[in-house]
């Protein structure tokens, strides 16, 4: 079922989500299904449970060929529960991001270039990966939502925060929305 995505004025988006303790439940299957339906409906690359008003530590992400992300490599469809991210090195990359919860806006956000993430799959098994590039950016963006962080809070230079209309007129490149 498609759920309404919380807008950035929703105070729940600024709250820290609680860990999920039960796996393989009908409620978790329904939540993940609703998240997938909502993300697909909005043409997103990822979605965190708080974005649909559920304050648990669950994120989904995945990108195949998509006109909204013409330069992005594919990211496998992933469901992560209680994720933890560890930077692999100190290299930071800045790139344009957007967010389904901050519609119509884009900003240049610094992110670690390479990260290792671990979390739990829906069936309770561990998932561990080391990633870089767009994949690393997407997982960091989605996991920020679990800690009540929206991407504009990470922007270093507010002159690089603009409407997506402004961005689409050639002012920016590499624009992403999660």
> Could you give the residue numbers annotated as active site?
142
Q: What are the Cα distances from residue 37, in Å, to 63, 111, 128, 162, 178?
A: 14, 27, 25, 28, 14
Distance CA 4, CA 152 (A): 21
Q: Which helix (DSSP H) or strand (DSSP E) does residue 144 occupy?
A: helix 133-146
- Cα–Cα distance for residue pair 56/5, rounded to 1 Å: 15
> Which region holds residue 154: left if phi is over 0, alpha if psi is between -120 and 50, else beta?
alpha
Per DSSP, what are the bridge partners of residue 162?
106
To the nearest 10°, the Cα dihedral for 61, 64, 67, 72? 80
Question: Measured on CA atoms in the order 84, 86, 92, 93, is the torsion positive or negative?
Answer: negative
């Amino acid at each position: 079922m498609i759920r309404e995505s919380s807008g950035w004025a929703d105070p729940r988006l600024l709250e820290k989500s609680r860990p999920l303790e039960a796996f393989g439940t009908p409620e978790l299957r329904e939540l993940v299904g609703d998240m997938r339906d909502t993300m697909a409906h909005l043409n997103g690359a990822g979605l965190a449970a708080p974005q649909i008003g559920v304050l648990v530590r669950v994120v989904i992400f995945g990108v195949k060929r998509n006109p909204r992300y013409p330069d992005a490599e594919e990211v496998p469809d992933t469901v992560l529960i209680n994720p933890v991210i560890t930077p692999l090195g100190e290299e930071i990359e800045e790139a344009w991001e957007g967010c389904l919860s901050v519609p119509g806006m884009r900003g240049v956000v610094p992110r670690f270039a390479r990260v290792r993430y671990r979390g739990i799959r829906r069936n309770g098994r561990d998932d561990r990966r080391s990633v870089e590039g767009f994949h690393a950016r997407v997982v960091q963006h989605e996991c920020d939502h679990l800690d009540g962080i929206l991407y504009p809070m990470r922007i270093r230079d507010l002159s690089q925060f603009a409407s997506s209309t402004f961005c689409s007129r050639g002012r920016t490149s590499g624009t992403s929305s999660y």
